[in-house]
Structures are given as C-alpha cells and as structure tokens.
Structure 1
Amino acid sequence: MSDVWQLVVIGAGAAGLMAAETAAARGLRVLLLEKNRRPGVKILMSGGTRCNLTHATDKWGIVRAYGDQGNFLHSALAQLDPPQLVRLFEDEGMATKVEDTGKIFPASDKATDVLAVLMRRLERSGAVLALEEPTSAIAHDGEQFLITTPNRVIPAEKLLITTGGMSYPGCGTTGDGYAWAEQFGHTIVRPRPALVPITTPDMWVKTLTGLTIPDMLLRVVPAATEPPAAGTPPTEGKPKKGKAKAFLAERRSSLLFTHFGLSGPAALDVSRAISGEEKPAQLKLVCDFLPDIKLEALEEQLKVECTTGGKKQLVAVASRFVPRRLAESMLDLLGLALESRAAELSKSSRSQLALAMKGQTIRVEGTRGFPKAEVTAGGVSLKEVDSHTMESKLRPGLFFAGEVLDLDGPIGGYNFQAAFSTAKLAGMSV
C-alpha cells in the first residue's frame, strides 16, 4: 500500500468526522488528524451538553437563516439537508426530538449519543483516526501536500481543513486553520465572536440577574442615532435604498439578564453586530418588551389601568405589562416612586413609561469574547471556495468545511447543520 494518503482531514470535530467518514465510505484511503485526546470535544459541550444538531426546517429555511451567506450553502444542503441529517442519526439508532423553538436534540438529551453515532460511522468507513497528533506545518511540493506533525511527515493527494474557528478555545479551536489557508493565498475575513453574551456598564441591568423575558424584540443601533420608532415591526426599520440604516441587527426571542449584561437567544443572535464593531461602546441596545402591542395602544391601556385602578400602587399597574422586577427598574430609571398611586401618574409620565416598555435603551460595553462564544464569525472567504465542491479556487486539492469558513448562522442548530452539510459535500467531492 502506498504511503501517500488519498485524503488527510485536519480536525476531528463535527465537520471532520462527517467528511472523513463520507470520503472513506467511497473507498478512499483517509487519515483524520486530531490534536486533542478525544474527538468531537465541542460536540460534547454544545447545547449545554445536549447538542442541538439541527433545526426543524428544510434547506430553504437554512439558506434564509444565513442571510447573505445562504447562497453558498445550496450545493451542501443538496447533499445533506435537515431531514436527511435527522434520518442519518435515527438510522443509527439515535432517536431525536423537536423542541418548541424548533431546535432538534437527541431524545436522550446527551451529546455523547451524537458523537457515538459519528464515531460508529467513522469506524465502519475504514478511515483512520490519529488522536493527540497536532499539525505543526503544511507544505505542497508541487505534487502532493506534506503535513508535518510531531510524529511524522504525512504525504497526501488531497487535504481538507476542518479545524473550526476560535470559539470555545478550550476545545482546541484556536484558529489554526486560518494561517494554513493564508499560506495558500486565501483571504481571512476577520474572525470575531458570534452567539456570545453581551456586556454592559448599566448596573440596573445587572440587578435583574436571572430574569428572563420570554418574548421581546432586541435591536442594536448606533448610540449617536435615534433608535427605530417604538413598535416598529421587525425588518421594517430597514431603510429604503440610499437611506441610513436604522439598526445594525435585530432579533425577536427570549432575553436573559445576567450579572455581566445580557444573554439568551435574542442577545446571542445580535452579538455579531457588536463584536464586529471596532468601538462597541458607540452602540446601544433598544429593547421592546411588548412587541405585540403598538405604542399608542399601550399608552391607552396604561391610561385605562391608571383610571380604573387609581388606588393601586404604580408598580402594581406596571407589573401587569412586564415582570415586576423589570417594572421596578423602569420606574426607578424614570424617577417615579414605586409606591405612588396610579391615579397620580401624569400624562407625560405615562408616555415615558410606555416608551420605556417599548424602547428601553441599554448601553453596550462589548461581548464576553471567544471563550464564551458558541461560534466564530469570519474565516476563510467564501469567494475563494467553490460552493459546489468545497475546494479551494486557489490551490487544487485543498478543501475546507465547517466553521473555518466565513459562515455563521443564528442560534438553533443552524451552525451544526452547515458544518455537517459542507463536510458531506467535501467528502463527496475529494
């Protein structure tokens, strides 16, 4: 048998395991290199150790979720879309479940079951897995790739980089693949944390630690500009051609107040707009805690409540609309006494309270960075990768898949789906 591997895959995460198995099952001689002591470390810790492997949608739902990056995924999703991915795992005996949010998890709530399926498929394919063997250098001698590790120099006809991004660096995802891609002429879109909690200097936010708002609309806007009008529906705040954008990002979902700032799906999904700014303190968040009620209607409801329940304390009236702890903070910020009677609330103060419920602003400090980020925004430029094969347009025989690419989607299993799909396509194309 030749010493030259037909394919070497670097990085045994979700993408690497899928790609190596797919290529080996086609009869190729495949080596999968992993620097950690065990494969799939990020799989095991994702989703609170439950692993949200995909979302209950079709390929078009994934494409839409990725926005401008979505078109790149058409061919990958043609190879492996969400229903096909679910079927792949269920055919291996792993039952799945769909939660109310559309997230799909193993029915056992154990990420270990996801990894076990991938490992069984890898072993069955005949691919060779080498653990605790980090790649220190990559070269190309004109005929083949030469991958250097502490143990050997490995020749390969083709090379697939699936090293991930820089999120959760404790998993070993420290951006190794970017330097190798640059070595072959690839452009690296600046990596930055995404799906990461947001920090704020506002102490009132931190006093609400542990409070969850199940349904609200969160927007990121430049601090020096007026926020979108209270009650503006999602996406309708976007400008017409030639006009300044009203906001940088928005998400309607649940929000969690923490000791450092904000977390939960709404905060995580808009965080890439903050980490992408050189001076995040020049941004602010605008919170609509009652997205289904128009401002005018809310003011009228407050008026009715204050009139019919005039003897009630103001905090009791406000608590009919938002959680009591949040109501107390809002009244305090407005300088309104919690124990004052509702009937004493002036028209001006009533309008201010309604505006706070529909457009409370929070100052931005930044994010919690890569150590707390679920994914990485940025990476190998999609313009330089053939979306039909995942092969480099600059170096024949070099392929990419997974988070090392400039692909990052919203929370909810979209990122694992993209990793599995791009890896499947790469494994079929090498």
Structure 2
Amino acid sequence: MLRSLALHTYRDTVAIQTIIIIGGGPAGLFCAIHAAGEGRRVLVLEKKPSCGRKLLITGTGQCNLTHAGEVAGFFDHYGDHGKFLRPALRSFTNRDLVAFFEEHGLSTVTEQNGKVFPESRKAADVLTLLLDECRRMGVEIRCNEPVKEVAATENGFVVRTGAVSYPADALVVATGGVTYPATGSSGDGYAMARALGHTVTAIAPALAAVEVQDHPFADLAGISFEGLSISLFRENKKIREQTGDLLFTHAGLSGPGILHLSRYIAAGDVLRISFLPPTTREALAADLVEKTASNGNRLVRTVLNDYPLPDRFIRKLLHAAGIADDLTAAHLDKKARNRIVTHLIEWPLTVQAISGFDEAMVTRGGVSLDEVDPKSMTSKLVHGLYFIGEVLDIDGDTGGYNLQAAFSTAVAAARAIVREEV
C-alpha cells in the first residue's frame, strides 16, 4: 500500500465532485445512494463479480434488517462500543431504516422477538432494491475491481485497481471485516486504513460458537435452553456475565447467550453455566434437600425431572457427578447432592477455541474508533477519508444490530460528504 502523503493535514474545503466507495456491501451501497446527486460522481469499487454477497446470506438468507423498539435500546448491544454509535444511530434510526425500505416498495415484518425482516423473507430483495436505487441515483458500480493501492494527495486521493488509477475528492472505506472471506470480506480495508496512517485494533471472530475441552455434551447436540446465566472466568476471576439462550453443538456451545459473549472469550477461559437461573446455590441446595427427604423411594433422576430440564441432560449430569442412574433419593449423600448442585448452578467448561472467521458472523476489532469522528465517520487524521460499517472496531449482537450500524454509519458519512460540498 502507498503511504498517505497528507497525514494529520486538512485540505482547504473544496467542492466534492468525485466520491469513491470501496466495497459494494450494504454499507457501501447505502452510502452511495445517500451521497449521490447534485453533480457528484459516486463510484463504487467491488472486488467480487457482484455486490452484496455477504448480505445475501445474512439471517440465513432472510436478512434481519434491524430491531424494533426505541433506538436508545440499541446502545447496549455493541459490547463496549455502543457509545461511539449513538450519534449515527440517533441521526438515522431503526424507524428511519424501515421507512426507507417501505417508501421504496419493500414491506417489512417484525417478529415477536423484535427482529425486523423484509416481508418476502428474501435478502435478495433487499440487495435488488439497493442496486436499483443506486442505478436511479446515477451511482457507477464497477465489479471485479479489487483495490490494490490507496494514497492521499494534496488534492484528494488516488485509488489504484491493477492498471487503472482513479482520482477522488472523498474516499469511503466500506470493505467489511474478515468473516465469511469467500464473500469478499478478507480484511482489505485494514491494510488501506494502515496505509493512510490509521490504527487497526486486534482482529478476532465475534458472534462465534465456542469449542469446549473434553466436551461433555457432544452427544446432546441440538438440545437448547432458554435464558441461562453464563459467567466468563479468566485466571479464576469473573470478567463478564451474559443471560441468553444456549445450544449444545457437536463441538461445544452456541446460541445467542454464547454468541453475544464470544467477543470477550479467549481459549483457556472458563465458562460457568447456571442451568436454573435465577436460583442461587443455597436455594437450590435447600430445595433439593427437601425434595429428596420427602421422596426417598424415587430415583434421584426422577426427582431432578421436577426441574425444567431435558431428561437426557439430567442423565448426563448424573453421570458427570458420579451418581448411578438407579440411585434412590434416600441414598443420596450430602457430597453427591453438592455435586449435583454445582453442575446445575455453575457447570464449568473450559474453552478450547472460538469458531474461525469462516463460521463467525462478524469481526471483532477494526479501525480504531479513537481516530474516527462518531458524528460523521470522518477520519480525524486525513481530510476527506471516511470509514463505515464492519471495517470499524464495532461488532453488534444478533438481532439486526450489525446491519443497522452499517446503514446508520453509511448515512452519517454520506451526509457529511454532502455538507462538505456546501
């Protein structure tokens, strides 16, 4: 990558005539739509043969566009970085996004859990609308144009794609992260950011399943639980806690509770899972004493069936606690009872690994937020440079939060570009 020639400098304000957007995903296309018009030339450069490949697989192809409710409720769904997104989300809300699609002929539906989808349940319809609107606004899209070099000059930017060099007054990096690299998200934007003097924080998978050492539930793959309490420990210190649904997989754990916590998890960490929240250890121990005392002739397994837990899981728990299937409640001693309580309230599982970028939904890390203006997505280092979408150090929870962030940051950048021209 060519090194920026204008780091920490700002050009005198001039009319922006040419805008280059690198990346033809939802953020790039949405920014192009809102930046086009009034004589501005907007050029989208996409490395793949077609745009929006990752968009097409979003929400298993159904495209969870955003989430319902007040936008203020979004801020806690981006890990530690929700504060950065507040200006963009408040300026272009989930309601604004739904209104945009409705006004352009794409009806939406909202599920009971708050997830918003196109009524057709087809991500392809969302992409078609974005591409049609780009054409209507005169946006030029060039596919099969991987960017090789970027540089800032005294007059703007130069972007080279192989043998072709494009000048630009404004440059928008919308290349996404590194998850699902087959769709084109292979980390190109991080190299561009570094070449232009920006810091890129450590990259890792997020919204990812967890592989577990000596996985005790491999044969229970497919069993799920609702609203469990999951605590994350590192070096015997509790560092995070998450409440959410959990799914046993062949290799470990998944489900929203694990996916949302995964941005903080590293190999070697210990997850302690409470399968009966919000019951405390003391309350469960007392309840179990009462149940076994009054049901001495029943099997321990059948006593445990009184709790809202799958029978196959209970059998696994008894095996892990060293308790025979045919043991009656009358013969359950205190030590064995305490082992049951431990497994139900804080079953410890050591993390082997986090699912890789081929399987994770989003990327943790990216262009440092300290170097980007949260109101406009403008670089604080290079005038006329913008970063939007997943290339930023932002990753949201499942439920439409990542696409909403992509669309909101895209609009913030587009509006800033338009203001620059005035």
Report the TM-score, using the length of structure 1 for normalisation: 0.89
CA contact (8 A) 2:151 2:196 kept: no
- Post-superposition Cα deviations, 1:267-302, rounded to whole Å, max 9, x if no partner, equal 11111112xx4xx22x11110111132333322332
CA contact (8 A) 1:133 1:151 kept: no
Q: Which moved more, 1:332-341 or 1:289-298?
A: 289-298
In the alignment, which of 375, 381, 398 is matched to residue 368 of structure 2?
381
CA contact (8 A) 1:219 1:270 kept: no
- Report the equivalent of 1:74: 86
In the alignment, which of 188, 196, 202 is matched to residue 214 of structure 2?
202
In the alignment, which of 381, 384, 391 is matched to residue 394 of structure 1?
381
- Post-superposition Cα deviations, 1:238-263, rounded to whole Å, max 9, x if no partner, equal xxxxxxxx423322111111111111
CA contact (8 A) 1:95 1:107 kept: yes
In the alignment, which of 139, 142, 156 is matched to residue 154 of structure 2?
142
Secondary structure of 1:135's counterpart equals coil
CA contact (8 A) 2:25 2:52 kept: yes
- Post-superposition Cα deviations, 1:73-107, rounded to whole Å, max 9, x if no partner, equal 12211331111111111222222222233222222
User: What are structure 2's unaligned runs of at least 5 residues?
Assistant: 1-15, 418-422
- Post-superposition Cα deviations, 1:26-62, rounded to whole Å, max 9, x if no partner, equal 6521001111111111111111111111111322112
Note the C-alpha offset of 1:111: 1.3
In the alignment, which of 334, 339, 343 is matched to residue 356 of structure 1?
343
- Report the equivalent of 1:28: 40
Pairing 1:173–2:160 present: no
Note the C-alpha offset of 1:25: 4.1
- Report the equivalent of 1:416: 403
Q: Which moved more, 1:259-268 or 1:65-74?
A: 65-74
Identity of aligned residues (%): 40
Secondary structure of 1:97's counterpart equals strand
- Report the equivalent of 1:316: 302
- Post-superposition Cα deviations, 1:156-211, rounded to whole Å, max 9, x if no partner, equal 11100000011111111010011111111101101111101111122312122111
Counterpart amino acid of residue 62 in structure 2: R
Pairing 1:326–2:338 present: no
User: What are structure 1's unaligned runs of at least 5 residues?
Assistant: 226-245
Counterpart amino acid of residue 264 in structure 1: G
- Report the equivalent of 2:8: none
Secondary structure of 2:88's counterpart equals helix
- Report the equivalent of 1:46: 58
- Report the equivalent of 2:326: 339
Tell me: CA distance 1:207–1:369, structure 2 relative to 1, closer, same or farther (3 Å). same
Query: What is the count of residue pairs matched by the alignment?
Result: 401
Tell me: CA distance 1:296–1:84, structure 2 relative to 1, closer, same or farther (3 Å). same
Q: 2:215, 2:392 → 1: CA distance?
A: 37
Pairing 1:253–2:244 present: yes
Pairing 1:273–2:264 present: yes
Q: Which moved more, 1:59-68 or 1:373-382?
A: 59-68
Counterpart amino acid of residue 291 in structure 2: E
CA contact (8 A) 2:17 2:39 kept: no
- Report the equivalent of 1:92: 104
Report the TM-score, using the length of structure 2 for normalisation: 0.91
Note the C-alpha offset of 1:324: 1.3
Secondary structure of 1:57's counterpart equals coil
Q: 1:51, 1:151 → 2: CA distance?
A: 36
- Post-superposition Cα deviations, 1:127-147, rounded to whole Å, max 9, x if no partner, equal 111111111111233212111
- Report the equivalent of 1:183: 195
- Report the equivalent of 2:95: 83
In the alignment, which of 280, 297, 300 is matched to residue 286 of structure 2?
300
Counterpart amino acid of residue 20 in structure 1: A
Q: 1:27, 1:412 → 2: CA distance?
A: 38
CA contact (8 A) 1:52 1:412 kept: yes
- Report the equivalent of 2:6: none
Secondary structure of 1:190's counterpart equals coil
- Report the equivalent of 1:62: 74
Pairing 1:262–2:265 present: no
4+ residue stretches of structure 1 with deviation over 3 A?
none
> RMSD of the TM alignment (CA)?
1.7
- Report the equivalent of 1:241: none
Secondary structure of 1:52's counterpart equals coil
- Report the equivalent of 2:174: 162
In the alignment, which of 389, 392, 414 is matched to residue 405 of structure 1?
392
CA contact (8 A) 1:5 1:31 kept: no
Q: 2:62, 2:286 → 1: CA distance?
A: 45
Tell me: CA distance 1:315–1:216, structure 2 relative to 1, closer, same or farther (3 Å). same
Q: 2:259, 2:407 → 1: CA distance?
A: 22
- Post-superposition Cα deviations, 1:378-405, rounded to whole Å, max 9, x if no partner, equal 1100111111211111110111100000
- Report the equivalent of 2:11: none
CA contact (8 A) 1:5 1:155 kept: no
Q: 1:26, 1:164 → 2: CA distance?
A: 28
Q: 2:339, 2:412 → 1: CA distance?
A: 54
Alignment of 1:277-296 (within 5 A): 277=266, 280-281=267-268, 283-296=269-282
Secondary structure of 1:112's counterpart equals helix
Secondary structure of 2:227's counterpart equals strand
Secondary structure of 1:87's counterpart equals helix
- Post-superposition Cα deviations, 1:303-336, rounded to whole Å, max 9, x if no partner, equal 3332333322222222332211211111111100
Q: 2:185, 2:207 → 1: CA distance?
A: 16
